[in-house]
Amino acid sequence: MQTPADRLLAELGAYGRVLVAFSGGVDSGLVLAAAVRALGADGVGAVTAVSSALPATERAAAAQFCARLGVTHHAVPTDELDRAGYRDNGPQRCYFCKSTLLDAAVALAAQHGYPAVATGTNADDVRTRYRPGIRAAAERGARTPLADAGLDKAAVRAVAREWGLDIWDKPAAACLSSRIAYGIAITPARLSRVERAEVAVREVLGHRLTDLRVRDLGDAVRVEVDRAALGIASAEPRVVAAVHDAGFGDRPVTVELFRSGSMNDSLHH
């Protein structure tokens, strides 16, 4: 019986050459590492979108990961903030974002002779009820090796750990725009304020913190942390002070349990 790793390698081995849309996270990181195993580093490239929605620390980590694999890393500036559909921050924002990235990836793949473009969409993502970005990628013919090989998030982390990838336990790191409530315009200033706040909260809570989101709700701020840090974060006045000092002024701040995709709650009511 084939293991999940075997299925993934077989899937990628059939692509010939592949350009991986690499965010720096564990999903696309595993796709990239598997592609190198299946096709050799010369048959693989990585493309990372450079925009104000990607934290600078993520961009640096992505470059280092590619260097360790010996993969050519293309850092491509994207202009999603120039698109009204993205900037206006409606429920389809992720569609416009992924469209911008995949259009750039498809053009880059054609230029450098990669017949396939792959994303880190996993089997859990496909089952999630609201993922407009997946539709944008599918419309552009992007391949989804993790989903096609049946790897969910748990399997992705297990294989990444088995292969000794240092990102195997990396927390999910959605783009900064996902921290801003729908209907509030995305601007570079809002994105940088969220990034500053998250950096500041991490400095306060240190190693006790894994998952963190600072949610810009317009007239209020919600800080979400993982369960292990919830009690400490709720009782620590420096958390609120850090958010205020990052540029949120005197807006009320609440501390709650981290929930991935919590900003989508308003779409289902």
User: Do 90 and 97 touch, CB atoms closer than 8 A?
Assistant: no
Q: Give per-residue pLDDT as tens, 155-172.
A: 999 999 999 999 999 887
Pick the CATH number of 4-162 from 3.40.640.10, 3.40.50.620, 3.40.50.2300, 1.20.1250.20: 3.40.50.620
Q: Give per-residue pLDDT as tens, 195-204.
A: 999 999 999 9
Q: Give per-residue pLDDT as tens, 49-62.
A: 988 888 878 888 99
Work out the mean pLDDT of the chain and round it to a whole number.
92
The predicted pLDDT at position 12 comes to 97
Domain definitions of the chain by residue range: 4-162, 176-268
Q: Give per-residue pLDDT as tens, 170-189.
A: 887 778 999 999 999 999 99
DSSP output for 19-40: EEE--SSHHHHHHHHHHHHHH-
User: Do 108 and 47 touch, CB atoms closer than 8 A?
Assistant: yes
Q: Give per-residue pLDDT as tens, 220-235.
A: 999 999 999 999 999 9
Q: Give me the CATH code for the 176-268 domain, please.
A: 3.30.70
Nearest partner of 72 among 111, 117, 31, 19, judged by Cα: 19
Q: Is residue 102's pLDDT more than 70? A: yes
pTM for the full model? 0.86
Looking at per-residue confidence, does 209 or 203 come out higher? 203
72 CB-near residues (< 8 Å, 6+ apart): 44, 45, 46, 66
For 18, the 3-state DSSP assignment is strand
The predicted pLDDT at position 267 comes to 54
User: Residue 6: which H helix or E strand, with range?
Assistant: helix 4-13
